[in-house]
Amino acid sequence: MIHSFRSWFYGIAIILIAFIFYASTDSNEEKVGDVAITESPNLDGKGLPQIIKPILLDKTYSVAGEPLPADNFDVMERLDREFLVNSYWHSSTLLNLKAAKRYFPIMEQVLAREDVPEDFKYVAVIESNLRNVTSPAGAKGLWQFMPSVARGYGLELSREVDERYHLEKSTRAACALIKDYKKRFNTWTNAMGAYNMGETRFAKEQSIQKMDSYYDMNFGAETGRYLFRILAVKEIMEQPQDFGFYLEDLDPLYKPLTDCNMVKVDKTIANLGEFAKEHGTTYRMLKVYNPWLISSRLTVAPGKTYEIKIPI
């Protein structure tokens, strides 16, 4: 009798243990980092299992040291939109985070020397996604200079050279432009708005609308979103893990292009391919390190000197 009771007891215990183990392993819960995620059951096989959450706007936000008017519901709703767009635009945001490893260190040095708030590096992210792209209107480079503005701020543009693609020189030119806008429009926030739509149009809108602050003015979609995009991208790129973006510190890609020697050139180079071979590199790498060289040759006028980066 006692033996039968023990057998029955042990049998029940084994069944309970098996049930608990099965329940725990069959759970829909999984972990990403230290965060537990529970998926809703996909009963009909047609659903898209994913976790989409709103961004909690629970802090004081500022850009270039100037606070957002958090008591303005319109301002906060516009910021909320840009947080959501950029948090869930995964490939673009991740690529920007990677590219920042290459370009931000140089930009930060130039911005500091030129006494421009460091937050302006995010202007380049919004303008170009940190790529040497060309806009439909003809703006080029990381800072998206139009030809007339670029020349007005000392950048060389020719059939062989386009310094809108020169990281250091274009960043210095952008700093000079931004400081001029700050002087005319009084705040860094207004300077950002003017950077996007142009000095003349921004001044005209101020005059028509009788408003002094970007936040109190009504713009078209691009300029109306511009500053909020900058602020959202700033928050995400400064704290990427808070938004679900994880980058390995040992990632060898997108490193700054500082492993190079500078070669001064004061004579015309008839063929940049031959020049590259003579200096122990390839034509492709010459263009990667010097994207401002837009031709296969470089004509050097008397008294003119260029510095070309040669990768080590």
Q: What is the DSSP string of 234-269?
A: HHHHHSGGGGT----TT--TT--S-SEEEEEE-S-B
Residues 232 and 116 in one domain: yes
Residues 150 and 281 in one domain: no
∠ at Cα 109 (107, 115), nearest 5°?
A: 100
Q: Looking at 243, 274, 296, which one is the last position of a domain? A: 243
Report if residue 21 sits inside a domain.
Answer: yes
* Ordered DSSP codes for 41-76: P-SSS-S-----------S--EETTEE--TT-HHHH
Query: Of residues 262 and 6, which shows the higher confidence score?
Result: 262
Report if residue 54 sits inside a domain.
Answer: no
Residues 76 and 18 in one domain: no
Q: Which of 147, 176, 177 is nearest to 161 (CA)?
A: 147
Residues 239 and 265 in one domain: no
286: pLDDT confidence band, cut at 50, 70 and 90? very high
Report if residue 57 sits inside a domain.
Answer: no
Residues 17 and 153 in one domain: no
Contact assessment for residue 311 and residue 259, using Cβ atoms and an 8 Å cutoff: yes
What single-letter amino acid sits at 298?
A: L
Residues 160 and 206 in one domain: yes
- Overall average pLDDT of the 249-255 stretch: 81
What single-letter amino acid sits at 12?
A: I
- Overall average pLDDT of the 136-145 stretch: 97
The pair of structure tokens assigned to 195 is 């950077």
Residues 213 and 127 in one domain: yes
pLDDT at 29: 47
Residues 210 and 283 in one domain: no
* Residue 2: pLDDT over 60: no
Q: Which residues form the domain of 296?
A: 260-311
* Residue 264: pLDDT over 80: yes
Mean pLDDT of the chain: 88
Residues 296 and 172 in one domain: no
Report if residue 55 sits inside a domain.
Answer: no
Report if residue 251 sits inside a domain.
Answer: no
Q: What is the pLDDT of residues 201-226, one digit of tens each?
A: 999 999 999 999 999 999 999 999 99
* Ordered DSSP codes for 179-227: HHHHHHHSSHHHHHHHHHH-HHHHHHHHHHHT--SGGGS---HHHHHHH
pLDDT at 58: 84
Total structural domains within the chain: 3
- Overall average pLDDT of the 83-88 stretch: 90
Report if residue 201 sits inside a domain.
Answer: yes
The pair of structure tokens assigned to 289 is 């390190």
pTM greater than 0.95: no
CATH number reported for the structural domain that contains residue 92 in this entry: 1.10.530.10
Q: What is the pLDDT of residues 147-192, one digit of tens each?
A: 999 999 999 999 999 999 999 999 999 999 999 999 999 999 999 9
pLDDT at 24: 46
Main-chain dihedrals φ then ψ at residue 117, nearest 5 degrees: -55, 140
Q: What is the pLDDT of residues 6-35, one digit of tens each?
A: 555 455 555 555 444 444 444 444 444 444
Residues 21 and 86 in one domain: no
Report if residue 204 sits inside a domain.
Answer: yes
Report if residue 108 sits inside a domain.
Answer: yes
Residues 130 and 264 in one domain: no
Residues 79 and 139 in one domain: yes
